[in-house]
Homo-oligomer: A and B are copies of this chain.
């Protein structure tokens, strides 16, 4: 089951199951001389953390990151400076509620990876979803927190733009709102709508999908490479690696299918400051696989979690027809907690291409 690593120069390896003692990641290729505090990393972890509102799973994990290698501590032990060696980060699993998994161990939950894992490996850690649990993404967020530091001045933010059929009004977009509601919603007017809607879904033991948008600003021009290491290709690849993601788009995305060449092209003019200026950003900040300096915009669709209280038809490992109802603490909309993960994935893709462009130590040319 090879390949729990991604990245070419900025390389991240994650490990760990939902119900083992811990999970974590090794961030390899992080340039030396980057200063950070644990609080900075923890702030991102807290955004993804379960149990923060009634709209996400009530599993409680502190998600405290320990840094085991790759840094020098300041005298007062508050600031860490990377040395260029691999940074090992570990997060203990604290809320492993013991329960009888006997049933799930044999029954395939529709829409879960259970059946596919058993087909491929003949063995599977069924406790809490094992490796395919959403807990794996905690390690991604920790890695992403470092990745952000690699590119000076970059800002990477995510927001939910759709839950079920309810899409935000893009005219209302306000990044400040994103921090002020449990949905990472940039449209204040949409918050009560989603609140009502998700309450209904939650009470019914059902679930619903969502669309998340990630925007990266102050990305240097020239990142990426033509053909098979396009920046948008690598962003798409990493966003699709998030559990439950079924679609990815950059810039206009699928809407581009309906546009004419005249509508879609981003015209240019020299700005008053003598710098080239794009008059629009249909491309999402990437042309020919290379960043142009405009904001990079990507969206991804998250399916509804398959863990629902309604009984569904299925089979078990012995080839019997069974009905499966997934009890436990689940997210009515896993898309909500996917926002900080999407940010982390974009951050890692950008850090990797930044180093490919500038070299291992990431120094500016």
Contacts and interface: CB of A to CB of B under 8 A. Distances in A.
A310 interface: yes
Interface in A231-261: 232-234, 236-238, 240-241, 243, 246-261
Contacts of A32: 1, 121-123
Contacts of A253: 246-247, 301
A308 B265 contact: yes
B85 A290 contact: no
A229 B207 CA distance: 27
A266 interface: yes
A119 interface: yes
Given A17-B85, A119-B221, A229-B3, A132 B288 contact: yes
B116 A301 contact: no
A176 B59 CA distance: 51
Q: Give 9 closest A-B pairs by Cβ, nearest first.
A: A113-B288, A247-B249, A2-B29, A1-B84, A3-B229, A207-B261, A116-B290, A237-B237, A111-B265
B69 A22 contact: yes
13 contacts: A2-B355, A3-B225, A3-B227, A5-B5, A21-B68, A26-B26, A120-B290, A207-B260, A233-B238, A246-B253, A259-B303, A268-B313, A357-B360
Contacts of A28: 1-5, 13, 15
B304 A85 contact: no
Residue of A221, A230, A237 with highest tally of chain B CB at under 10 A: A237
A246 B251 contact: yes
A365 to B, nearest CB: 5
A358 interface: yes
A316 to B, nearest CB: 10
A199 to B, nearest CB: 14
A315 B315 CA distance: 54
A149 interface: no
